[in-house]
């Protein structure tokens, strides 16, 4: 086996990268099952594309912060390993497409030179921690949430409690009651609050989008900031233990909450606190590396078109809470831009702003800390880059996932229709360039990566079938969603399904009706007043498949006739269990437990040992053709099939053995004893399995 080495100084990171290289080679040599390998690479940000033989790399950028140095590094990597294009996601990440799997360890090693990680950007883990892109500069914010989002990101990265959950877990931070971090649709959402001079958060729990969107519920009206990490650890432990694992469609926290209720979830979180090492984790906000604006004033320039300059300032420039400074919003069409522009942008903000940018939830770029005197120069330079298009975070700024361009799950084009709708709005509704009360979002499938079901006007990629069994691309039109603020939101109603080519006409009718009759009301207010049937009645004729033309069978941005082709979705990092590898994994988890014990990180050591025991029990149950689901179910089933029947004698029930994790504080003596229990248990189940095989 070829060895792979990096120049990374951090041994933990280096081991991660070397492990990825090793697993890739084992996979190529047929020593790792394809599904098992998929789970491993997803947890390292390597995601299979729709196109065969290439990967999408997702770069994890907490709360969208990117320094000038990091942007240069990402650009170099994209040029070397891909095609020089960068894609901003709705979770403030950057994605690079068309990467050779074999080169992903090298790519990761290059990124880590500027403290950029791929770890847990995909897979069944805590995904990128998002936040209001205006955090730190918002005139309405309670305080800057950046240090707290950063602390959460660092605490749970590589944390053993959230490496192999049933599904992904999403976290957001909002700076103010405007809830620009969209807490109501996250597994955990934190909204900044101050009570009696104490910084804290309103905590929202178990929200989500997808095919069954669910409004998050209030876990705590106010939680002091030092309690957010212990609370999140409790939530993750409960989700890991009781969360669905068999049915991927139900394996999110929102379904667990629906099943057991908020009070039961709260009680489980409270009970779990005994097993958590720290009941308080203060965040030293003063020590956080805040952006420091440069003292350098940009050169004077003469603006040729003063009217265009003033329009740009009205549309794309935001007043900061810091006197004399402004943030510039760059509208990035579909979130795609290229490395030549990225490098020039990185140099510009380093020299004349604060050396960093923020990526937004709407796939845009925000440049903070531009002095008023420097605005003309920035306008001039950004114009050269094509970065002064009007409509930052306005109605004309449509959010769209990659859809059928690169995603395995894409059903219909989201990028193609988004471009056409933006073109139509600019041409026919120029007044919407400055309308920030209308939000339009598009997803290529029901998974809602484009967040279509929380938009005022949303479109979801689908397909329709004619009487002759011909299939055409279609769009589900959704209306009435919106962010109400302070953790409250409305999810859009599904109104009608139309062939994709009729999407612009559907939007045209909706906007014309809104213009004619709303009388200044916000769209979601107008929609609620009129009702779903009202909109269906004037759109329903567009849903007819009796009069489809040849063009209707060609999706937006395509030249060939549409074919519905859905690959294997990797959003959840599905794993097919193989008994032999499960036992090997149990041994690896015990080794990890011992390593954590040697580093005096007792809570991690205990959790690795816990995972080993559950994993070993799962392997033996599967060997007996017993179907398994949640971790809690595995524990009770093991007792039922092996302890109660006296096939295996542990001296205690398996439940009593495993659930010591809830009864004892994470101290050294318990950690040693618990690891020993895991080792003995693994030996017992392997011996039982060997007897059965022989």
99 and 147 together in one domain: no
CATH code of residue 192? 3.30.413.10
533 and 487 together in one domain: yes
176 and 233 together in one domain: yes
Helix, strand, or coil (residue 472): strand
Q: What is the CA radius of gyration of the chain?
A: 26
Nearest Cα residue to 121 out of 55, 64, 63, 45: 45
Instruction: Look at residue 611 and tell me if it is in a domain.
Output: yes
Instruction: Look at residue 567 and tell me if it is in a domain.
Output: no
101 and 139 together in one domain: no
Instruction: Look at residue 592 and tell me if it is in a domain.
Output: yes
440 and 549 together in one domain: yes
Instruction: Look at residue 2 and tell me if it is in a domain.
Output: no
Indicate the residue among 360, 384, 408 that finishes a domain: 384
Locus of tokens 């320094």: 67
Strands of 130-131's sheet in order across? 130-131, 171-174, 188-195, 198-205, 217-224
Instruction: Look at residue 492 and tell me if it is in a domain.
Output: yes
- Stretches where the chain sits below pLDDT 50 are 1-2, 572-577
pLDDT of residue 575: 35
Helix, strand, or coil (residue 229): helix
pLDDT of residue 6: 66
275 and 314 together in one domain: no
Residue 351: enclosing H or E segment and its boundaries?
helix 339-352
638 and 545 together in one domain: no
pLDDT of residue 34: 80
Write down the H helix ranges in 385-519: 415-428, 503-517
Instruction: Look at residue 118 and tell me if it is in a domain.
Output: no
Instruction: Look at residue 273 and tell me if it is in a domain.
Output: yes
665 and 591 together in one domain: yes
537 and 461 together in one domain: yes
pLDDT of residue 560: 86
Indicate the residue among 357, 384, 411 that finishes a domain: 384
150 and 270 together in one domain: yes
Question: For residues 131 and 189, what is the distance between their CA atoms, to the nearest angstrom?
Answer: 9
Locus of tokens 């598009």: 442
276 and 348 together in one domain: no
321 and 416 together in one domain: no
pLDDT of residue 283: 97
Q: What is the pLDDT of residues 206-242, one digit of tens each?
A: 999 988 999 999 999 999 999 999 999 999 999 999 9
Indicate the residue among 349, 384, 419 that finishes a domain: 384
pLDDT of residue 49: 87
pLDDT of residue 570: 54
pLDDT of residue 443: 94
Asked if 165 and 240 touch (Cβ cutoff 8 Å), the reply is yes
Q: What is the pLDDT of residues 22-66, one digit of tens each?
A: 999 989 988 887 877 888 899 899 998 888 889 999 999 999 999
CATH code of residue 310? 3.30.70.3340
pLDDT of residue 573: 38
Range of the domain at 363: 306-384
Instruction: Look at residue 5 and tell me if it is in a domain.
Output: no
Strand segments, DSSP code E, in 260-388 are: 317-319, 325-330, 336-338, 356-359, 365-371
């Amino acid at each position: 086996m070829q060895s792979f080495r990096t120049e990374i100084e951090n041994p933990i990171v280096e081991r991660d990268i070397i492990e990825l290289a090793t697993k890739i080679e084992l996979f190529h040599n047929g020593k790792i099952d394809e599904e098992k390998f998929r789970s491993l690479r997803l947890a390292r940000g390597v995601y299979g594309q729709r196109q065969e033989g290439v990967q999408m790399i997702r770069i994890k950028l907490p709360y969208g912060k990117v320094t000038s140095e990091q942007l240069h590094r990402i650009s170099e990597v994209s040029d070397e390993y891909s095609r020089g294009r960068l894609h901003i996601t709705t979770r403030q990440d950057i994605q690079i497409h068309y990467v050779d799997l074999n080169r992903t360890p090298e790519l990761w090693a290059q990124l880590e030179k500027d403290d950029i990680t791929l770890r847990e950007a995909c897979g069944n883990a805590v995904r990128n921690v998002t936040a209001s892109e205006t955090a730190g500069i918002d005139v309405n914010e309670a305080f800057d949430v950046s240090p707290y989002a950063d602390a959460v990101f660092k605490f749970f990265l590589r944390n053993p409690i959230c490496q192999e959950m049933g599904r992904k877990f999403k976290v957001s931070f909002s700076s103010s009651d405007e809830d620009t971090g969209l807490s109501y649709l996250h597994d955990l959402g934190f909204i900044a609050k101050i009570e009696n001079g104490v910084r804290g958060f309103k905590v929202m729990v178990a929200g989500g989008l997808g095919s069954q969107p669910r409004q998050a519920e209030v876990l705590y009206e106010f939680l002091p900031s030092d309690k957010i990490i212990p609370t999140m650890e409790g939530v993750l432990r409960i989700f890991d233990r009781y969360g669905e694992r068999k049915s991927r469609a139900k394996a999110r926290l929102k379904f667990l909450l629906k099943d057991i209720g908020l009070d039961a979830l709260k009680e489980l979180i409270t009970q779990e606190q005994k097993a958590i090492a720290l009941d308080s984790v203060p965040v030293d906000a003063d020590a956080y590396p805040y952006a420091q604006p440069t003292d350098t004033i940009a050169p004077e320039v003469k603006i040729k078109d003063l009217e265009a300059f003033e329009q740009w300032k009205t549309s794309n420039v935001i007043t900061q809470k810091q006197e004399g400074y402004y943030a510039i919003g760059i509208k990035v069409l579909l979130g795609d831009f290229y490395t030549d522009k990225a490098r020039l942008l990185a140099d510009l903000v380093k020299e004349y702003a604060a050396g960093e940018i923020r990526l937004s939830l709407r796939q845009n770029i925000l440049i903070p800390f531009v002095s008023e005197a420097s605005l003309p120069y920035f306008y001039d330079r950004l114009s050269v880059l094509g970065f002064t298009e009007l409509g930052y975070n306005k109605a004309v700024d449509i959010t769209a996932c990659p859809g059928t361009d690169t995603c395995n799950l894409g059903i219909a084009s989201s990028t193609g229709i988004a471009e056409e709708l933006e073109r139509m709005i600019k041409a026919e509704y120029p007044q919407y360039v400055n309308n920030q009360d209308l939000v339009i979002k598009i997803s290529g499938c029901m998974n809602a990566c484009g967040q279509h079901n929380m938009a005022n006007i949303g479109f979801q990629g689908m397909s329709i079938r004619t009487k002759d069994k011909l299939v055409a691309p279609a769009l589900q039109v959704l209306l009435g969603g919106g962010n109400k603020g302070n953790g409250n939101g409305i999810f859009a109603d599904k109104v009608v399904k139309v062939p994709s080519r009729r999407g612009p006409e559907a939007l045209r009718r909706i906007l014309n009706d809104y213009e004619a009759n709303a009388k200044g009301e916000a769209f979601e207010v107008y929609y609620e007043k009129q009702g779903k049937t009202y909109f269906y009645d004037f759109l329903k004729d567009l849903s007819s498949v009796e009069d489809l033309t040849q063009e209707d069978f060609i999706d937006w941005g395509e030249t060939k006739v549409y074919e519905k082709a859905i690959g294997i979705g990797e959003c959840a990092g599905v794993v097919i269990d193989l008994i032999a590898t499960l036992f090997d994994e149990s041994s690896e988890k015990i080794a990890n437990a011992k390593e954590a014990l040697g580093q005096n990180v007792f809570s991690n050591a205990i959790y690795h040992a816990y995972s080993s025991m559950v994993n070993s029990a799962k392997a033996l149950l599967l060997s007996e053709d017993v179907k398994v689901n949640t971790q809690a179910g595995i524990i009770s089933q093991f007792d039922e099939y092996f302890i109660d029947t006296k096939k295996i004698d542990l001296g205690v029930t398996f439940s009593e053995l495993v659930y010591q994790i809830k009864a004892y504080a994470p101290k050294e003596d318990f950690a040693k004893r618990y690891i020993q229990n895991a080792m003995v248990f693994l030996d017992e189940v392997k011996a039982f399995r060997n007897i059965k095989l022989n």
